[in-house]
């Protein structure tokens, strides 16, 4: 039986602009399971990014309850900052690396706030090696390919061993070759046990998931369970996901 790592109940999110209110998340109730690679899909404006920001505590919900590993963090800035610095990580569409730092420094620097330099450097070295990035450890972002930059951003997100890794369109700014490199890395770390929640528009990227949630007008409309990602059943998997998305009029 799978363990729930994020338990979200009746999430509502409203945006107010002047006198108008827009309900962007409408009573979303979901469990995210430990070790899963969950993908969230849906049309533009359906609330995917908003849901991801709310689940990762980067944005505040209007009402509802979210618990991470059995603990609620609402209301206390101290526990929220502990949560963000130690337990969850985010990868954005463009990796947002600092241009003046090398790959090694981009990965390691945020870690120095939380841990000793020696421990962080050792973990950075280990991560870069594991993710086959050690040969570009001394490169600055302008000396990396788009795929390498995104993989360094993923390495940075993994430095703190997050309970959950969130990603919003992490391959959206990459061409298909670099996108595949980043996705291969997500698959690799997920197979090693990393829980991932990813938003994507891309059918190919969605195939990496073992579970796809479909969001429509701020509600989870449908859900598809897939087995573990295997290179050899790709065609069948793609047909299955495509049929699911067609049913939702994606
Ligand atoms: N800060 C904000 N203030 C007001 N409205 C917002 C804000 N952020 C998002 N919205 C609105 O909320 C709705 C959902 O936005 P969201 O970014 O979650 O959609 P999305 O599904 O991620 O879309 P896309 O696929 O285009 O990235 C949209 O109508 C958007 O205009
Ligand atoms: Mg979005």
Q: Report yes or no on 19 lying in a domain.
A: no
Task: Evaluate whether 230 touches 208 at the Cβ level (below 8 Å).
Answer: no
| Cα–Cα distance for residue pair 123/107, rounded to 1 Å | 10
DSSP-assigned beta bridge partners for residue 219: 216
pTM over 0.85: yes
Domain count along the chain: 1
Is there a domain that residue 7 lies in?
Answer: no
Mean pLDDT on 27-54: 96
Distance CA 205, CA 228 (A): 14
Residue at 48 is within a domain:
yes
Residue 15 binned pLDDT confidence (cut-offs 50, 70, 90)? very high
Q: Which residues contact 196 (CB under 8 A, 6 or more apart)?
A: 36, 37, 38, 164, 165, 166, 167, 186, 189, 190
Among 28-42, 83-97, 116-130, where is mean pLDDT lowest? Answer: 83-97
> What is residue 216's predicted lDDT score, i.e. its pLDDT?
96
Q: Residue 7 — pLDDT band, cuts 50, 70, 90?
A: very high
Residue identifier of the C-alpha nearest atom 26 of ligand 1: 44
Ligand nearest to the CA of 59: 1
- How many CB atoms lie under 10 A from the CB of residue 217? 14
Interacting residues of 56 by C-beta distance below 8 A, sequence separation 6+: 88, 90, 164, 166
How does strand 4-17 pair with strand 63-68? antiparallel
Asked if residue 3 is part of any domain, the answer here is no
Q: Which atom of ligand 1 is nearest to the CA of 17?
A: 4
> Which residues contact residue 108 at a Cβ distance below 8 angstroms, ignoring those fewer than 6 apart?
120, 121, 124, 159
Residue whose pair of structure tokens reads 């429509």 in the numeric block: 216
Alpha helices (runs of H) in 32-131, residue ranges in sequence order: 48-55, 77-86, 103-112, 117-130
In a domain, 66, yes or no: no
Q: Please report, for the domain that includes residue 103, its CATH number.
A: 3.40.50.300
pLDDT tens-digit profile of 126-185? 999 988 899 999 999 999 988 889 899 999 999 988 999 999 999 988 888 888 888 998
How far CA 66 is from CA of 48, 61, 71, in Å, comes to: 16, 9, 8
Whether 242 maps to a domain, the answer reads yes
Structure token pair of residue 166: 């969130």
- d(CA 194, CA 161) in angstroms, rounded, equals 9
- Residue 163 domain flag: yes
* Closest ligand 1 atom to 52 CA: 18
The range of the structural domain enclosing residue 150 comes to 34-60+75-247
| Each residue's pLDDT tens digit, 174-222 | 888 888 888 998 999 999 999 999 999 999 999 999 999 999 999 999 9
Separation between Cα atoms, residue 207 and residue 198, nearest integer Å: 11
Dist. CA 168 → ligand 2 center (Å): 7
Strands 63-68, 71-72: pairing kind:
antiparallel
Ligand 2 centroid to residue 48 C-alpha, Å: 6
Residue of higher predicted confidence among 74 and 147: 147
Tell me whether residue 67 is in a domain.
no
């Amino acid at each position: 039986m799978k363990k729930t790592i994020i338990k979200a109940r009746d999430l509502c999110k409203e945006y107010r602009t002047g006198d108008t209110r827009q309900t962007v998340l409408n009573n979303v109730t979901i469990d995210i399971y430990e070790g899963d690679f969950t993908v969230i899909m849906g049309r533009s404006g359906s609330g995917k990014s908003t849901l991801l920001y709310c689940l990762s505590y980067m944005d505040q919900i209007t009402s509802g309850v979210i618990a991470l590993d059995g603990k609620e963090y609402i209301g206390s800035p101290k526990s929220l900052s502990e949560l963000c610095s130690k337990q969850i990580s985010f990868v954005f569409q463009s990796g947002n690396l600092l241009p003046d730092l090398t790959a090694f420094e981009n990965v390691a620097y945020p870690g120095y706030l939380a841990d000793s330099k020696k421990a962080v450097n050792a973990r950075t070295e280990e991560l870069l090696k594991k993710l086959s990035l050690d040969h570009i450890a001394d490169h600055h972002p302008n000396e990396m390919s788009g795929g390498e930059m995104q993989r360094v951003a993923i390495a940075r997100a993994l430095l703190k061993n997050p309970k959950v890794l969130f990603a919003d369109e992490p391959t959206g700014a990459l061409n298909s070759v670099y996108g595949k490199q980043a996705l291969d890395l997500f698959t690799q770390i997920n197979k090693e046990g990393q829980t991932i929640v990813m938003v994507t528009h891309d059918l190919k990227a969605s195939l990496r998931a073992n579970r796809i949630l479909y969001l429509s007008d701020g509600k989870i409309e449908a859900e598809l369970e897939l087995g573990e990602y295997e290179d050899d059943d790709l065609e069948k998997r793609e047909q299955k996901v495509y049929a699911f998305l067609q049913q939702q009029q994606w």
